[in-house]
Amino acid sequence: MSTSLLALEVNHLSVNFGNVQALKNISFNVPTGSIISLIGANGAGKTTTLRSISGAVERKGEVKLFGNSISGLEPYQVAGKGIVHSPEGRGIFPNLTVLENLKLGTMTGPHAEDHFDQNLSECYLLFPRLKERLRQMAGTLSGGEQQMLAIARALIGEPKVLLLDEPSLGLAPQVVKLIFEIILKINREKKVTVLLVEQNAKQALKVSDYAYVLEVGTISLEGKGSELLNNDSVRKIYLGEH
């Protein structure tokens, strides 16, 4: 892939958990304005990759944001640079209201608190259901609404790069379709670069400009999303087609 206008450069990333090597010297790029997906089986290293980029786990290698190294920064510093991580399992606070959860999103962006009202109004356009439930406890939302809340909270932090980990996990098919439509809007209308980890390979590849297949901590295959959708190995192993 071209090295011009890269939002993220991940170079020789390795992560060990004790004697287990979770990531093995992987390198990939995320061009500005793109949607890039990481797909693979459980345990392949997808979530670890996102957590490494956001500074949540110790790793070897280098990560650059718009050409500047962010290696060695603490997670809050990485977030302050513009990388916002929406984690697997949504990570909302169930005993806080929807509005209180959204306000917590201002803690990541350096100017997000000043722009909260404007960003909240924009979130209403993407997530009209949340506007109806602002005073509701987040733990009482449906699974789909909780995922919308997690993504909306990330957007409140004014990300330049949004790391999305398993946004469709545990959701009904019609809700999954809606979530992916929202991801496309975030990318195209809000001009947010997206790095997506997703078990639902078919949906991920449909929206991705480019994708990488992770297998036991290494990149085994890469290509345009449309190309991998038609790759025989990907169709058989990850799409359940024969």
pLDDT value at residue 3: 46
Distance CA 221, CA 224 (A): 11
**Phi/psi of residue 196, nearest 5 degrees:** -115, 125
Q: What is the pTM of this model?
A: 0.92
* Residue 54 in this model has a pLDDT that exceeds 50: yes
Looking up tokens 């992770």 gives: 214
For domain 6-237, is the CATH number 3.40.50.300? yes
pLDDT of residue 239: 78
- Please tell me the predicted confidence (pLDDT) of residue 4: 55
Q: In whole numbers, what is the pLDDT of the chain averaged over residues?
A: 92
SS3 212: strand
Q: How does residue 64 score in pLDDT terms, banded at 50, 70 and 90?
A: very high
- In the predicted model, is pLDDT for residue 40 greater than 80? yes
pLDDT tens for residues 138-157? 999 999 999 999 999 999 99
Answer yes or no: are the C-beta atoms of 201 and 239 closer than 8 Å: yes
**What beta strand segments (E) does the chain contain?**
6-17, 20-31, 35-39, 60-65, 68-69, 83-86, 161-165, 193-197, 210-215, 218-223
* pLDDT higher than threshold 80 for residue 189: yes
Mean pLDDT on 93-119 = 91
